[in-house]
Structure 1
Amino acid sequence: MRRAAPALAGYAAVRLLGLAGLALWAAARDTDPLVRLTARWDSLWYARIAESGYGYTVRLPNGDVHSDLAFFPLLPWLERGIAAVVPLSHAHAGFLVSAVASLAAAWGIFAVADLVLGRRAGVCAAVLWAALPVGIVQSMAYSESLFTALAAWSLYAVLSGRWPLAGALALLAGLTRPVGLAVAAAVWAGAVASFVRERSASTADGAPDGPRDLHAVRAGLSPPPRGASPWPRALGMLLAPLGAAGYVLWVGHRTGRGLFGYLDVQAGWRNGFDGGVAFARFVAGLFVSVPGALAGTALIAGVLLLGWLLLAGVRARLPLPLLLYAGLVALLALCASSYFGSKPRLLVPAFPLLLPVAAAAARARPAPAAALLGLAAAVSAVYGGLWLTGSGPP
């Protein structure tokens, strides 16, 4: 905690600035900022599940069927548990979960970046994650903060060779969001890579005996000490996919559609994986007017920036589990046929994409780095308040 204190203080400062920005925009528009954080959009669905369980469905005039089975259960479970022991509504309990989970996520992001890039980069990474343009989502009664906390600490456990812990946290991440399978994939990739490194080391003269050497950590191939039991790693691999797979199978059983049940539920929300076709059509449709063309150009630039950040991570030799996790989160966000407005927040958990920027900020002189982070925090506060009191996240 002492080592992470600057990162947590920086994170909290940026998020408090964001909440202050939301309060100012809400006052200007005569709306309640707490309602925007706890009782709008998906937070209503989570609170309803926490209060009454699954089974609520809305049939829209256009034929769409919105079922609460689309929402994974861990956040509603926590909301229900908290509301049962403290005098909070389920929605406000969700806000409390996000507040605590966002700090845990910032700590986990710092821990990963500190392990791979050093302490200054860890502090910068936590602050950059707080200062995302849609960082206000981290303070909502949504599942992004909870999922990112579980994912970050699972990845840290992978990099430090704590396989049962990595698998258990991946299991919980899989009960939080469908993209939890990206965490499970990272656990599997790290476990296989560590096994390959262990086998190579066992045949090399003078190979290191422990998993903590810097090269192993940076390569994401941290094996257990020679002679250690392989069962902890196997247990981690076994646990990792059980959360997401278990919920999907339960939905299939409940709907009577087997493996296709959850896909049917998502189709009712017009969600699915189409390889980015819907997103490409949306962007192309913007180029019918000058303002739309500017927006479309900005979106294309944003996608290219994501690709550049991932490539920068490869060039920086970030550990394989981090690259695989970030790549899968970005791929699922951009290539899903979901509402375009949801894509920015779906990218919030992809924190490893920020690590090359954090490393550059850590190498820079303190004054320019602080100015850059401060500017990002100010932009996030202004945009987040404007966005949440306007169209907001779907």
Structure 2
Amino acid sequence: MSMSNQGFETLAIHAGQEPDPSTGAVVPPIYATSTYKQDGIGGLRNGYEYSRSGNPTRTALEECLAAVEGGRRGMAFASGLAAEDTVLRTLCRPGSHVVIPNDAYGGTYRLFARVYEEWGVEYTPVPLQDVAAVRAAIRPETVAVWVETPTNPLLNIADIAALAQVAHTAGAKLIVDNTFASSYLQQPLSLGADIVVHSTTKYMGGHSDVVGGALVTADAELGERLAYNQNAMGAVCGPFDAFLTLRGIKTLGVRMDRHCANAERIADLLTRHPKVASVLYPGLPEHPGHEVAAKQMKRFGGMISFRMRSEEEAVRVCEATQLFTLGESLGGVESLIEHPGRMTHASAAGSPLEVPADLVRLSVGIEDVNDLIADLETALD
């Protein structure tokens, strides 16, 4: 049976992870080495010469990333932003233009607004759920449409297949940040995306103990260009980080099932709570992106945002929880709460991407859901 025909959980546990031929170890070892003995000048064993260019632990992770995303080439980086930077430097030149979400992750916005804009790369923030608005924003210089779905932190949903058609008609690439959904819930390459980006720090690693990023593509030639720049720019994932991320991916399916189940219960609680003004969760039938999310996602994820009736109320709730830890990041086994306006999205303050001051974001963990509900009820009251 070929690997490509196997189910997600099987690929997550076995792709790139054959037992070690010399010892039979079932887990790929941490190859803590910077260089490799060559069998004569230019005689590389399995292509390894220097660990920036390639490391067997990282190779195992990269093969697994490609398999679980349904791609041909996976690349592992030191962080999600290192992966994003490599994409942009591969596709963009001075004068290039990129369409981005009008509620993009703050770090992505900062990369465009504070780094790439200085090098002559232009960008237009657009509500990606409005396909006509995306089409209208495209120019002759547009090289890519950058998609987050669900978005961070407003949980808007973009129709990947529709946007792929718009981008490709214009000769542009469709890049999808799949961090919030994870490979388990959403497969952008199968919907027409050219490149998938992950902060593997989040659901892929899943235990809040490693920082990393990934790129996956189904296009072999594009994969070669990205991999060349990965090596040339050098922001690669180290072997211990690769080991931890690979270990996390093995349980991604079972973890996401629990994240989703817990989030559904909590979204229901928040929807009914009198102090909550509105709940942003694509699993709710009243969410404007619900139908698209149901079409392109397996379930609706573990991220929930909600609005209180004032900034003061939002801050108070964030500081009142006991089980939900006040902290940035997301996607770990433990539940987190944060105030995006003052924390993860502070870099977007005063910009077109500024988030509402009364917004609270939850990363719902895999604890006992009744304990999580009790904690939120106490904090809200």
TM-score, reference length from structure 2: 0.26
TM-score, reference length from structure 1: 0.25
The structure showing larger relative contact order (alpha-carbon pairs under 8 Å, at least 6 residues apart) is: 1
Q: Please state which structure has a larger fraction of its residues in strand.
A: 2
Q: Please state which structure has a larger fraction of its residues in helix.
A: 1
